[in-house]
Amino acid sequence: MYGLELAGEEDAFAAREAATTASDVDVVAPGLAVADAVDRERVRGLAYTRRALDLLGRGEADIASARAIVEAASLGGPRGDPDAADADREPTVAVRARVVRDGADVSTGAAERECGAALVDRGFAVDLDDPDRVLRVLFAGDVCLVGWVVAESVRDFSTRKPTDRPFFQPGSMAPMDARAYANLAGAGPETRIIDPMCGTGGVLIEAGLVGSAVVGNDAQPKMVRGARENLARYLDDGFELVRGDATELGIRDDAVDGVVFDAPYGRQSKIARHRLEDLVAGALSEAARVAPRGVLVADRSWRSEAEAAGWTVTDSFERRVHRSLVRHVLVLERG
């Protein structure tokens, strides 16, 4: 069993993204989830999961329960740890405790001391500065999760702020959200992802960084040129950008593994030669032709148009960006 330390404030959304790398994800407390299995390497690319833990146990949200878990767990002894930096010496450990979202009345310092003492009693050496292994003790609501950290996501999204890119347009999506949507569309090694309305290329950057080959399409030449500059900044290769109509993509059936796009906002907008409703409906139909799964982000649901285009809506979310904008997110599977 594994524990997941979630990020953000939307646990259902975070758990759905985590399910792209883990099986049977279940939220057990605010900011905490458990899973039956985890792809440790792919956890590195998640946006809304901070860490995965190899659980020692789950208990009540108090220090005594946390220490009891450490004392009772089958730790295998300090020697011969396959995760140790040097197999010829005892691995060192450190305990890091956290109260998630101020959701429990627990002293993290006291929790670290008690659990650390339990580890010392069992023969482990403590190194607070550079440990070989980290024991994470997490409290939220009435739940405590205790486990060894086995994977951590790379939290470098601030290095790719839209305003810091070579090409910027107002309304560009935050990298953390773009990564999550790319993951939901199936991004990862040995996959190909297309964004048929790529704009400045933010989703493609994030999909490329987790290993996908990416294809960008946009009707506006300015966007294609700008997206090419942005992708060249962050991706060495593995990307293609074309100017085209999202309702008539110039690729064969089932040419990609996933489609993700942020539909134009505004009920009265006219984009290129299409009304907005026709554009989104046509893009959804074309997406179903070229990929088995997709993610649509918009300022409204578009569920009926997605279903009419042949998609099954497996999940839907409403995510507040600011007071005047709520993003509707549809996770789609063909047929």
pLDDT of 90: 72
Mark whether 173 and 293 lie in a shared domain.
yes
| Residues of the chain under the 50 pLDDT cut | 78-82, 84-85, 267-270
HEC profile of 203-263? HHHHHHHCCCEEEEEECCHHHHHHHHHHHHHHCCCCEEEEECCCCCCCCCCCCCCEEEEEC
Mark whether 171 and 140 lie in a shared domain.
no
Mark whether 228 and 308 lie in a shared domain.
yes
CATH of the domain at 281: 3.40.50.150
Q: Give kind and range of the element (H or E) at residue 297.
A: strand 293-298
Q: Quick one: tokens of 111?
A: 């929790």
Mark whether 26 and 77 lie in a shared domain.
yes
Mark whether 50 and 63 lie in a shared domain.
yes
User: Of 152, 176, 198, which residue constitutes the final position of a domain?
Assistant: 152
Mark whether 183 and 98 lie in a shared domain.
no
pLDDT of 303: 98
User: Of 102, 119, 152, which residue constitutes the final position of a domain?
Assistant: 152
Cβ partners under 8 Å of residue 52, min gap 6: 2, 3, 4, 5, 22, 35, 38, 40, 43, 149, 150, 151, 152
Mark whether 78 and 117 lie in a shared domain.
yes
Q: Quick one: tokens of 44?
A: 């590195």
Cβ partners under 8 Å of residue 101, min gap 6: 9, 30, 31, 140
Mark whether 113 and 253 lie in a shared domain.
no
pLDDT of 80: 39
Mark whether 110 and 170 lie in a shared domain.
no
pLDDT of 211: 97
Mark whether 292 and 212 lie in a shared domain.
yes
CATH of the domain at 57: 3.30.2130.30
Mark whether 72 and 117 lie in a shared domain.
yes
- When divided into structural domains, the chain yields a total of 2
User: Of 152, 173, 197, which residue constitutes the final position of a domain?
Assistant: 152
Domain span at residue 320 reads 157-334
Instruction: Work out whether the CA dihedral 268, 272, 275, 279 comes out positive or negative.
Output: negative
Mark whether 111 and 240 lie in a shared domain.
no
**CB burial class (10 A; 0-12, 13-18, 19+) of residue 243?**
middle
